[in-house]
Amino acid sequence: MNGPSSSAVRSPGPTGLRRFTTPRPPREERCELCGAPLAAEERHPHLVDTDKRALVCACGPCSQLMDRSAASPGRFRAVPGRFLSDPGHRIDDRVWESMRIPVSVAFFFHNSALDRPVVLYPSPAGATESEPDEEAWRSVLDATRLAAHLEPDVEALLLRRHEGRTECFLVPIDLCYELVGRMRLHWQGFDGGAEARADLDALFTHVRGLAREPRGSRP
């Protein structure tokens, strides 16, 4: 990773990101909608509160109940669990540089509340937003077929420049904010430090193990 930027810090909301950026006290996690306890040893579902731009912890029943179809979206949208890869993407150095991202990893998603794409990258300050122009954003969408599969608010394109190439994945949005929180906790010095880089390597190894190439040109 490279050094941080002075870009303005943006987050999904005060509730959604805090759980990833501060040490958790020893307590039982509960569904933020109904109060039901969540199994500590299992990864529980998350919802995106599109009004507050925040992640919400949820139990399985609440996740299914509050989610809405794409044709009739509600305030809460369930974060899906799919991981897709595009080894044949065309995101080269020119495309990356047009996005004004000063570090080696970033994620992109469409924010329906703002009605525009959002580009974020991890830094010691948290999730930092890059502000590329519309042409630069279009160059990313045209360079990967994963853009046709991307669900607004709940999924993101996760990119990493590593060892002379760029990796491109479609992942759940909560994983991206978890990545931001982990980098913020472990960041040391100008370039992040060995611990942050090792954590980043481990996360991408996990993503590679889950990701599959999509079938067809549409979801």
pLDDT along the chain (219 residues), means of 10: 39 45 61 87 81 87 72 76 95 88 90 88 84 85 93 94 90 92 71 75 93 72
What was the pLDDT predicted at 3?
A: 39
The domain spans of the chain are: 14-78, 84-210
What was the pLDDT predicted at 204?
A: 94
22 vs 177: CA distance, rounded Å:
13
What was the pLDDT predicted at 180?
A: 86
Structure tokens at 84: 């897709």
What was the pLDDT predicted at 123?
A: 80
208 vs 214: CA distance, rounded Å:
14
Tell me which DSSP letter residue 188 carries: B
What was the pLDDT predicted at 193?
A: 65
What was the pLDDT predicted at 9?
A: 33
Residue 27 CB neighbours (<10 A): 7
Tell me which DSSP letter residue 215 carries: S
What was the pLDDT predicted at 107?
A: 94
What was the pLDDT predicted at 27?
A: 61
Task: Report H helices in the chain.
Answer: 14-21, 60-66, 93-98, 134-143, 173-186, 193-210
